Structure 1
Amino acid sequence: MTRTLVLLFSVATVTSSLAADLDVRLTRVANDKGQILVAVFDSEDGWDGRAKARAAQRVDASKGQVDLRFPDLEPGRYGVLVMHDENGNGTLDKTVLGIPKEGYGFSNNPRLMRRARFDEAVFELPEGGRRIEVEMR
């Protein structure tokens, strides 16, 4: 019985230490039209569209602030990409000059006049989890 309890405890410890929750707070959401798409990437290939996102959510937009949770991610390096799809067409609409007409954001909130690279948006997710804030642009 003692051996069984020790085995169960060690499995529970290993399982819980391999999972971390990522809480994402979006700020400055322009309006409550459409949906917010949030994708979590664990590689440059995923960030650049050559691999699937590690996790993703689509939620109804809410003006001001939106909170999301991505549970049970492995601790490691991640980047978060956010798009406010106001008209529901699944793409970030842009002007003829290529300037986004809908809201977007990246983890680490880099101030760029272009799409952030993975290395500019990457952050560490520790075993205990983490909360990040993404300011919509």
Structure 2
Amino acid sequence: MPCQNLFAALFVTLVAAVTPVANAADLAIVVEGVASADGRVMVALFDSAATFRRKPVRALVAPAAVGTVRLDAKDLAPGDYAYVVYHDANANNALDMNAVGMPVEDFAFSNNAMGQGGAPGFDAARFALSAAGAIVTVNLR
């Protein structure tokens, strides 16, 4: 009996350890067009239209490098996502704006989406993340 309890406990532990990984996906965001190595590249990842540009499910940060920067988000639930990325060249943790509210630091939205007179909506920036994971590319502007 004690041996059966030990095996049962080990089985439950193994299933619990494997289950989150089996349902988790990894996302790599490749940011192209980084103009300088100053500051860092910032990404805010969203999982719904209701939270888009308000409350990210994940925030990613990487040191800036001229050309291309890759940021990785591990263990995400498969589903629909959208993100905002910007090059925080002066490392002040904010997307700097000019007097009329236009960004003065390079930025982009997933799918390279653009809005009409403002930021795009979630549907324009949305992409599907499968359980297999994904690598997505975006170009700063």
**Is the structural similarity TM-score above 0.5?**
yes
The TM-score with structure 1 as length reference comes to 0.84
In the alignment, structure 1 residue 73 sits paired with structure 2 residue 49: no
**In structure 2, do the counterparts of structure 1 residues 15 and 88 end up closer, same or farther at CA, with 3 Å as the change threshold?**
closer
**2:133 corresponds to which residue?**
129
Pairs within 5 Å for 1:97-136: 97-112=100-115, 113-136=117-140
The TM-score with structure 2 as length reference comes to 0.82
**1:40 corresponds to which residue?**
45
Deviations 1:52-94 (A, max 9, x none): 3111112211110001110100000000110111112222122
Selected match of 1:89 from 79, 87, 92: 92
Deviations 1:2-48 (A, max 9, x none): 98887677656643331000011000111111111111110123213
Conservation of the 8 A alpha-carbon contact between 2:33 and 2:140 = yes
Conservation of the 8 A alpha-carbon contact between 2:112 and 2:125 = yes
Structure of higher CA gyration radius:
2
Amino acid in the other structure paired with 1:56: A
Aligned length: 135
Q: Structure 1: how far apart are the matches of 2:139 and 2:16?
A: 38
> Please, which runs of 5 or more residues in structure 2 have no aligned partner?
1-5
Conservation of the 8 A alpha-carbon contact between 2:61 and 2:71 = no
